A and B are shown apart, each in its own frame.
Chain A
Amino acid sequence: MDYQDRKVILSVEDLNVKFNLRGKVLHAIRGITLDVYQGETLAIVGESGSGKSVLNKNFIGLLDANGFISDGKIIYYGMDDGNPRILSDFQKEKEWLTIRGSEVSMIMQDPMTSLNPLKTVGKQIGEAVRLHQGLKGAALRQAVIKILGDVGIPEPEKRYAQYPHEFSGGMRQRVVIAIAIACRPKILICDEPTTALDVTIQAQILNLLKKLKKDYNLTVIFITHDLGVVANIADRVAVMYAGDIIEIGTSKEIFYESRHPYTWALLSSLPQLGVKGEELYSIKGTPPNLFKEVRGDAFAPRNPQALAIDFEKIPPYFDISPTHKAKTWLLDPRAPKIEPPAVIQQIRAAKKGGAEYGE
Chain B
Amino acid sequence: MENREVLLQVKNMEVTFGHRKNKFVAVHGVSFDIYQGETFGLVGESGSGKTTIGRAIIRINPVSAGEVLYKGQRISGKISKELDAEVTQKIQMIFQDPMASLNERAKVDYIVSEGLTNVRKGLSNSERTSMVSNALSEVGLLPEFASRFPHEFSGGQRQRIGIARSLIMQPEFIIADEPISALDVSIRAQVLNLMSRLQKEKGLTYLFIAHDLSVMRFICHRIAVIHKGVIVELAETEDLFRHPLHPYTRALLSAIPMPDPDSEQEKVLLVYDPSCHHYEDDPPVWTEIEPGHYVMANQEELNEYRRQLSQ
> Which residues does A use to contact B, with CB under 8 Å?
47-48, 168-169, 198-204, 206-207, 225-229, 231-232, 234, 251-252, 255, 265-267, 269-274, 276, 279-283, 286, 356-358
Contacts and interface: CB of A to CB of B under 8 A. Distances in A.
Contact of A271 (B188, B211, B265, B267): B188
Contact of B218 (A265, A267, A280): A280
B188 A200 contact: no
Contact of A232 (B184, B185, B186, B267): B267
Interface string B265-300: 101010110000000000000000000000000000
A293 B258 CA distance: 37
B189 A267 contact: no
Interface string B141-158: 000000000000011000
B255 interface: yes
B193 A358 contact: no
B83 interface: no
A276 B217 contact: yes
B256 A269 contact: no
B261 A255 contact: yes
B212 interface: yes
Contact of A202 (B47, B213, B255): B255
A169 B264 contact: no
B184 A225 contact: yes
B185 A227 contact: yes
Interface centre among B185, B219, B258 (most CB of A within 10 A): B185
A201 B252 CA distance: 10
A199 B219 CA distance: 17
Interface string B161-197: 0000000000000000000000011101110110010
B261 A252 contact: yes
B261 A269 contact: no
Given A228-B185, A266-B186, A279-B193, A357 B155 contact: no
A27 to B, nearest CB: 20
Contacts of B237: 276
Contacts of B256: 199, 272
B260 interface: yes
